[in-house]
Amino acid sequence: MIVTLTPNPSIDRTITLSEPLARGEVLRSISTHDDAGGKGVNVAQVVRQAGQLAVAVLPGDHDDPLLVRLRELRLTHRAVPTGLASRINLTLAEPDGVTTKVNAPGSALDPAHLDALINEVARETPGARWAVLSGSLPPGVPSHWYADVIARVAGDGLSIALDTSGEPLREAVRRQPHRIDLIKPNETELADLVGVDASTLTTVDAVVAAAMPLIDAGIGAVLVTLGPAGAVLVSGEGSWHADAPSVEARSTVGAGDSALAGYLLGALDGLDAAKRLSLAVAYGSAAAALPGSTMPRPADLPPLPDVHHWNEG
């Protein structure tokens, strides 16, 4: 089983445009669709659709539209009531598959809400294989909060995956590196984390070199998603690269979350590092080929890409 924590979930509203986005112009839409969103919610949905158990922990009231959608999806979840409305993130999807996202900041949570979220995760993790901590933090939440969550829930048999960015990622890596089994940055987030120029991460060698100090610090593995260039996996056992399959991109929303879910599904099935990476890239590509915030099912997967072992670690 996988438990996910999403402290700043959202309704993901996708507006599909009939023409390319143009600033200052009046545009027409083809459709508008609202989906339950948030990185951990997306991961849980992909995992559940693949036939594995998943529980999503998040803030939200019973009558919040986000919680209503989770019940419609029959996605098992544990919600902490806050009396606050879930944020709405806007995605503008152009005909050629280019997407523009406008993310709202979310509502501030008080310390009691934050403690309740941690307690819900701790309640669900006994017997779970992975805890996935993901997404941005709501306004006012201290940047070390994910590090605090890891300290509270890490235990024997539970692996921790962290998918966030900026200060929350830096603080967790600085404070709890040996308790983090996986992080999933894209190349920009990786560059920010290790203090290099993102424009230098244009080759697999450069990505591997940037990720290695994180492995040396104690992180179990680094899964770097590279969009159309696939993904790189770095661990103490070695480094691997997989190219992305050729798909017609319709929306990149949730592609990184789907890649993480694919990796975790491989881990649940006991697959080796290369096969986990192959599944990660296939799920990420499948998400990019689907409209809006639609999360992929196994039937949506393209052929699994080949994986190249980059070095022997």
CA angle 94, 97, 98 (to 5 degrees): 65
**257 belongs to the catalytic site:** yes
Catalytic residue among 257, 269, 272, 300: 257
Strands 54-59 and 2-5 turn out to be: parallel
* One-letter amino acid of 280: A
Burial class of residue 61, CB neighbours in 10 A (0-12, 13-18, 19+)? middle
Residue 11 host element (H or E): strand 10-17
Which distant-in-sequence residues (6+ apart) come within 8 Å of 166 by Cβ?
143, 189, 192
- Which tokens belong to 289? 């080929």
Strand order in the sheet with 87-93: 29-37, 10-17, 87-93, 99-102
List strands edge to edge, sheet with 2-5: 77-80, 54-59, 2-5, 130-134, 159-163, 182-183, 221-225, 231-235, 238-242, 307-311
Handedness of CA 151, 187, 128, 168 (dihedral sign): positive
Task: Kindly write down the DSSP assignment for every residue of 145-172, as one continuous string.
Answer: HHHHHHHHH--TT-EEEEE--HHHHHHH
Report, as residue numbers or ranges, the catalytic residues. Answer: 257
